[in-house]
Structure 1
């Protein structure tokens, strides 16, 4: 069925920065009421001031790890803007460390935000969508790094982003008979400040690092910042997401750079399969 956006209410985590804000701008132009959730209260105020002339908007300071806060936000959104039928589980972090230095604390922090935060959004809003019976859409933000492993992204980041892809694929199957679409956004580089914001939030791994290790980490961070700076604009990604929703595309990509690597990975998986079932 064709999904009409105008008049619906969207809940966007990580909505005050980067891709989330790009999606919010695109939705505002489509006549959607906006509920922006972000851990950054100052950025929320700036986003609200920008978007208020364009759309009805409410903002919520929210840590996506906090399920009770999710529930409170959902109730407040319904009271102020109406029921949420467009859900964008976009909040995420890019943190990590070499696996030899990957502490339990850092692992739990990254998994709680990048994976559990997505499920928390689904668990909070999907039952309401189903009960309402007016259809809807869920977009989960993963990454190109959730499709193929590569140097630089790290075990923590790639594990969580691969998981979001699998979660989204399974969710699409379960909702196939419902009028609720599912897409998983797997962007390549996008010009955001996610590296800086992640570094400001993540548990420290630098206290016991040698000077050489610190210099290597800083060089890697600088390379990643430059890599992202040359990527797509958040606004272009936001418009592209809405186009993908209109076509009910499960996978949403922002560039073709990983195509050959994804094909190589798929071929390796298939070639590793036995020719007949083991007995």
Structure 2
């Protein structure tokens, strides 16, 4: 994730002509408190999720610790096979809910395939939060979800990526704070997970998610937008929990946008304040 990419969560390029996304028209409110400005194809929204792409370059050389062991998962396999999904492919599962936290982030995941999937989903939420835009909380997040070696290599690169210039392009001050009266939004909402590989020592888990990013406020020219991505985590079982060793992202799969009327800034700000996030268990 590099701040140079001005489309935060890799959202599709928008055009001024009728605000069409992939041929589907998006209706904006008649009286939008976002200053009345049209959503133009400006590129100041390169979010935290784009920044984390730095991980691939920085820690690709870190080898997984291999402690051996068989697949102890009681969860579903990475692939059900066949031409059609089975009847339970979209059914929520989970045999051991996460009940502990470390620095506000769920921890103590089960040493199973389901536990690895739950860890990946919760890590995506944490790394997609507004906490990544504040130096102190960003350091805490990295130390919590990455292995010690990976976090040490990432910290300086992340600080450089979240520069004051980058924060300014996001509408934030040098400390990552939004202007008074405005609400900065950065959220990752997992839609599903799949374990592409699993062993007792390591796992590769992909998280399909919806991302929200932007500034909600009466003077904002960068309203909150959504995009779809898949975030893949290489996890390692260490010190009694799952930790990230490496990660990468790719665009989509994105559904066809519906013909929904965009909310006003007041509605978005109220929703962000009223609706909290989830702890994800698989």
TM over 0.5: no
Structure with greater helix share of residues: 1
Structure with greater strand share of residues: 2
TM class, shorter-chain normalised?
Answer: under 0.3
In the superposition, the TM-score normalised over structure 2's length comes to: 0.27
Larger relative contact order, structure 1 or 2 (CA cutoff 8 Å, min sep 6): 2
